[in-house]
Amino acid sequence: MTTTTDALPSQPTAAPALDTVRRGRRWITDWTPDDPTFWAATGRRIAARNLALSVFSEHLGFCLWVLWTVIAVNLVNVGIRLSVPELFWLTAVPNLIGSMLRIPYTFAIARFGGRRWTIISVLALLVPATLVAVVVPSGWLAHQSHSVQLWVLLACAAAAGVGGGNFSSSMANISFFYPEGRKGLALGINAAGGNLGVAVTQLLVPLLIVVGVPAAAVALPVHPVHLAVAGLIWMPFIILAAALAWWRMDSLATAHTDTRAYRQALTNPHTWIVSALYVGTFGSFIGFSFALPLVIKTSFPGWLAHHPVIATDLGALAFVGAFVGSLTRPLGGWLADRIGGGAITIAAFLGMAVAVLPAIVAVSRGDFSLFLAAFIVTFALSGIGNGSVYRMIPSIFSAQARTRARREQRDVGALLAAHRRQAAAVIGIAGAVGAFGGFIVQVIFRQASLATTTLLTRAQRTAAADPHQLALVKAHIAAAHRDWSLPALWVFLALYVVLAGLTWTVYRRPVGVGADATTV
């Protein structure tokens, strides 16, 4: 039976649970999703409602988290000129802060409850939205020195990192609502709904900030933009998400991400193996989402010079990949439920390695269409890998609990509960490490681009007075150094092959490090 403070107002003879009274409204004190009768009668409906509201809040978090991928390429339009390496830092810093917040955000579910923390975390998004709306486009900032501009922008970009933390708390919370056999699809839907925020921001924000600007002006390399709109548009949705979470979400008293479980997870080798796999899947997804607009801008200036409309909306190109990767994430969880997370993860990594090869060819030949197509495939496979890796987490720890129960002749139910808490901790750890992988992806791209971007910066300074001449010079530089990203792409390809081998060795080979965890 499910007990909530809202559900039992008419039973004066039954004393309310102590934990319910202490904690407040909408706390569920008895939750057994693995009981088929309970799930069919009550659990399914409550879990679905909380999943839907979690998706909405997490979606907004991702929208704000990647907002600086659009802001960075439009700063020149509000009179702020930064070098390409500096622009890479503006997109990398939110990624870094978001990854650092994911572990404490996981703990927040046990401390505050899923409902209350969702309200807090979504309202925190008002801070980066306000900074983008007020500080970034202000005339004050445009008239400051270069160093002041850079540090202020870095601080504003860092604030957007709070959007990245939402993922871990949301995933940890939802993992407690669903039975073992349904976690893959549920976590896939929850994550995909959040990941779609990347695509929404990169598609809509570049269009909304030029509403009212004449088409002829938009086609120019530097043109007016309403950059404040990039922050203002999220505010009503943030308030709505907080109100809906307060009104309809629940918290589970059984959802404990305790310190002991976290310490146990940190000492479990599977925690770090799964985290490494998530670096390859989610690190690629979020890292490419952040970096791709700048990579395209600095790799194909000649092509962009002949397509000025696309050049003003580079986020739309990144949108395609992020959108596809978001949609395929639940597919990865669904396939993992039926085939096995290990097998799907191996297939995803090998597919990503194969997809990088035409990207390498495209860079060598200067073929933008092939480059974009290769990255769309890579995004799609990274999404599948995201879903399958996260499905592996509860499977691995549940299998460990059953193995331990057989070996030590202990009650499997108690061990399953303890290992589920461990798995929830691993969701936070893997989410943080995977997001940090996105930061590493951007650093790899940045380091590979340094020589070329130095030449482009010099061209910007010498030919800035003549936009047409500047475009020609940049095109010449890009043609002479169009293979600047090849070292980074080869690193990614090698990483995917290594991670595919690691997955097979640990989770698919009949014997090995993961033998006690069984095949997943």
Confidence at residue 3, expressed as pLDDT on a 0 to 100 scale: 42
DSSP conformation letters of 377-404? HHHHHHHHHHHHHHHHHHHHHHHHHHHH
How large a percentage of the chain has pLDDT more than 90?
Answer: 37
**What pLDDT was estimated at residue 512?**
43
- Report how far residue 131's alpha carbon sits from residue 360's, in angstroms, rounded to the nearest whole number: 38
- Distance from C-alpha of 115 to C-alpha of 491, rounded to nearest angstrom: 41
For 4, the token pair is 């909530």
pLDDT of 79 reads 84
Q: What is the pLDDT of residue 90?
A: 93
Neighbouring residues of 117: CB distance < 8 A, sequence distance ≥ 6: 105, 108, 109, 111, 169, 173
Q: How far apart are CA 337 and CA 343, in angstroms?
A: 11
Residue 395 pLDDT level (bands cut at 50, 70, 90)? confident
194 band by pLDDT with thresholds 50, 70 and 90: confident
Closest alpha carbon to 69 in 201, 238, 196: 201
Beta strand ranges found along 158-275 (DSSP E):
251-252
CB burial class (10 A; 0-12, 13-18, 19+) of residue 480? Answer: exposed
What is the torsion angle, in degrees rounded to the nearest 10, for the CA atoms of residue 272, residue 273, residue 276 and residue 277?
-140
| pLDDT value at residue 7 | 37
Is the pLDDT reported for residue 510 higher than 70? no
List of domains in the chain: 42-517 (1.20.1250.20)
Going by pLDDT thresholds of 50, 70 and 90, the confidence category of residue 21 is very low
- Torsion region of 137: left, alpha or beta (phi above 0 gives left; psi -120 to 50 gives alpha): alpha
Q: Which of 8-17, 358-367, 411-420, 496-505 has the lowest mean pLDDT?
A: 8-17
In angstroms, rounded to a whole number, what is the distance separating the alpha carbons of residues 324 and 281? 14
Tell me the DSSP string of 82-97. Answer: --HHHHHHHHHHHHHH
Report the pLDDT averaged over residues 443-452: 80
Q: Tell me: the pLDDT tens digits for 285-317?
A: 989 988 888 788 777 767 777 776 676 666 667
**Minimum mean pLDDT among 123-127, 171-175, 210-214, 515-519: which range?**
515-519
Collapsing DSSP to helix, strand or coil, 303 comes out as: helix
How many C-beta atoms surround the C-beta of residue 39 within 10 A?
Answer: 19
